[in-house]
Structure 1
């Protein structure tokens, strides 16, 4: 039969001063006791917790504040330290229950493999990696030298067990990112690490503390004000293009397409990007059945951004000119086929010339980098104008047309908050125009 604990009064210095030398205990809960060992020159705090019937594990916590207060523990601090010590031990025991201790490194590697596998499935290429995988490798897990790649040292946080991860460790990693990185880039890398850790929590939550998600959220938080203070703007002035310039880009795309033997594939991609304002990853997943010519619209697939529930596709109205340009990509093809593809190029044996041997998915947005450079040159665009300018311009076009922000957000698969944050200037301009249109003469002639 278990012995009844004889509890000592340990809460104050005066109470402890009346105790005799030796070890005294006080219960914290049914299985955990706070101990006080009194000596001739003061005492120390201990904690013990039950590991089996009649068996306890004991650990030292620190000196009591009997004579000196600086660097010592009073009763309340000792109770907190005891609870934290026992909780840490029990977390570690749970983490080791199946012989596998998950770390930040293992969480990042699992997340990167999931993202890369999804990309390989979408593109059919085994060699591709996502930008997030490369960034996490560079700034978290490191890599060994191989091929043309030099070795990279892992960040100190990489080998921290998930059950021991603290907000301070995450903040230190975030603050140690190179200062040369843009604030937006730091946010993206932090968001990737947060996603990796959150995925690990969903998979292993029985082994991790309930506070783990909050620890991750707070430790990796970067205020969006940092971008504004650094002078970064997502929708820069020169990325908002007038309709006439969009027309020049489409004309340039047609010329580059013809010169590069794209067979209309490049031309159609640029047209759809400009007409829908969708992200490249969404446009690349359009199928033949997503073209609803009878209703003059495209059913644009939902983006993979965010975790909330979304409709499978968003109907986006397009003009007859866009439908006419897409007609060759629809004719004679099955509804489930990808609408937009690119030529699959191969060299014939013994030849230097590349020839088209079929079609393949567009894959990553990086496939558009080289042809876009030619389009930009042909359309006399500034060197820093990117394909995403077509999306920026489409959003601002809807705002200037007086469409409700909720509709603009829905058509572009984003949120009203995002539009207000990044396109506030054009919202204000549009409201000014609407208000000016409502002005009528009031003073009699």
Structure 2
């Protein structure tokens, strides 16, 4: 028959001062107790507990020195409440470890990341129709998993964090890893990297939800607090980047004219010209245009149904109607006529090597992410705008919409983004547009000198200047 625990009065410093030397226990749960060992000079806290997976014997561990002077927190000592908190955390970690070891090889941060990366690679490969490595895979291997030497690229060591077992993961582990990242890493890259790791760890929690004995019950809050989004204080840099990439209508026309010339010279047969024209006309991301189908071009309605991007947490699977001019429809007609509705709207020729020194056309297929890079360099050099990036067409489209006094909500919808992002990155253009709108509402208020208010008018509040 189990013995009944006689709980000691250890909750306050005054009560502990009256105790006899020795160890006094207080219950935490049915099989865990907080202990206070009273010595000649000072008292110490300890904890004992029983794990269900390693027999019936109690385990025991020290926690720290007790504050026997008063019941206020003090450096180097623990109050009763602090000791209880630490004891519960210690027992929880120990039981999670015992359960994980009993269930088989314990999962680590590395295994969580590797499973996540495989899933992301498979998803992105399905989207483009060929085997690729996802952006998340690149980032996580470079800054966490490490990678072997490849060509001229030096080998990268794995971060110490990946060896941590998930049941033993703490917030401090995650914060230490974040502090170890290169100082020259862009804030946005740091955020994406932290978000990738957070997604991998949360996926591990969901995957192991049916056997959560393998993980600490506080695992979700550890991940949330350790990988909390940091404030990015780079508004000035963002503003400068936007200013440098806001193009006038004349500059956009110059880029489009250059795109037509490069298209003809390099044998794109209109494929390059079409996609540049639509980037300028819609303000869409390149990744959105790549996903468009022939049926998304609607000449009669003079609009393009622009697919949503993969950014964010879903909800972008539909399409938004974007009005375009007759000139854009005319450019697209060769890509629409007599083609299947489900065929990619924007395609280009693929090439394969023919012999030792030549290349020949093989087949047509949708544009890939990096395939615009080389011709764009030629386009911007021809246009005399050597620093302009393709994304400048998107920035310019957003600013043009704001200057034409479109509601911010509508501008955000047309460009597949949020009102918050528009307000943050294009605030001064919003202010200028609203100022012009407010100026149009200005009416004269001060009557000419000497003018009298007409009889019968409501004179209350009337202002007559005759001084």
Secondary structure of 1:125's aligned partner: coil
Equivalent residues of 2:310, 2:316 under 8 A apart:
no
Find the aligned partners of 2:94 and 2:14 in 1 and give their Cα distance.
32
Deviates more, 1:315-324 or 1:113-122: 113-122
> 1:389 maps to which residue?
392
1:78 aligns with 2:106: no
> 2:64 maps to which residue?
62
> 2:335 maps to which residue?
329
1:223 CA drift (Å): 4.0
Secondary structure of 1:62's aligned partner: strand
> 2:422 maps to which residue?
419
> 1:216 maps to which residue?
223
1:5 CA drift (Å): 1.2
1:42 CA drift (Å): 4.1
Q: CA RMSD in A?
A: 2.6
Matches within 5 A, 1:373-384: 373-383=377-387
Secondary structure of 1:51's aligned partner: coil
Matches within 5 A, 1:193-212: 193-205=197-209, 206=212, 207-209=214-216, 211-212=218-219
When residues 123 and 70 of structure 1 are mapped into structure 2, their CA distance, relative to the original with a 3 A threshold, is closer
> 1:432 maps to which residue?
435
Find the aligned partners of 1:308 and 1:121 in 2 and give their Cα distance.
17
1:272 CA drift (Å): 1.7
Pick the aligned partner of 2:294 from 281, 284, 288: 288
1:320 CA drift (Å): 1.9
Find the aligned partners of 1:195 and 1:417 in 2 and give their Cα distance.
23
Secondary structure of 1:337's aligned partner: coil
Pick the aligned partner of 2:279 from 259, 273, 292: 273
> 2:318 maps to which residue?
312
Find the aligned partners of 2:95 and 2:240 in 1 and give their Cα distance.
46
> 1:177 maps to which residue?
181
Find the aligned partners of 1:224 and 1:437 in 2 and give their Cα distance.
38
1:398 aligns with 2:404: no
Where in structure 1 are there 5+ consecutive unaligned residues?
A: none
> 2:452 maps to which residue?
none
Secondary structure of 2:23's aligned partner: strand
When residues 256 and 436 of structure 1 are mapped into structure 2, their CA distance, relative to the original with a 3 A threshold, is same
1:337 CA drift (Å): 1.4
> 2:413 maps to which residue?
410
> 1:300 maps to which residue?
306
> 1:152 maps to which residue?
156
When residues 93 and 278 of structure 1 are mapped into structure 2, their CA distance, relative to the original with a 3 A threshold, is farther
Deviation digits for residues 89-115 of structure 1, max 9, x if unmatched?
233345446424333322332232222
1:388 CA drift (Å): 0.6
1:293 CA drift (Å): 2.2
**Structure 2 length-normalised TM:** 0.86
1:24 aligns with 2:27: no
Where in structure 2 are there 5+ consecutive unaligned residues?
A: 449-467
**Structure 1 length-normalised TM:** 0.90
Equivalent residues of 1:122, 1:363 under 8 A apart:
no
Equivalent residues of 1:235, 1:392 under 8 A apart:
no
Find the aligned partners of 2:101 and 2:428 in 1 and give their Cα distance.
54
Equivalent residues of 2:187, 2:232 under 8 A apart:
no
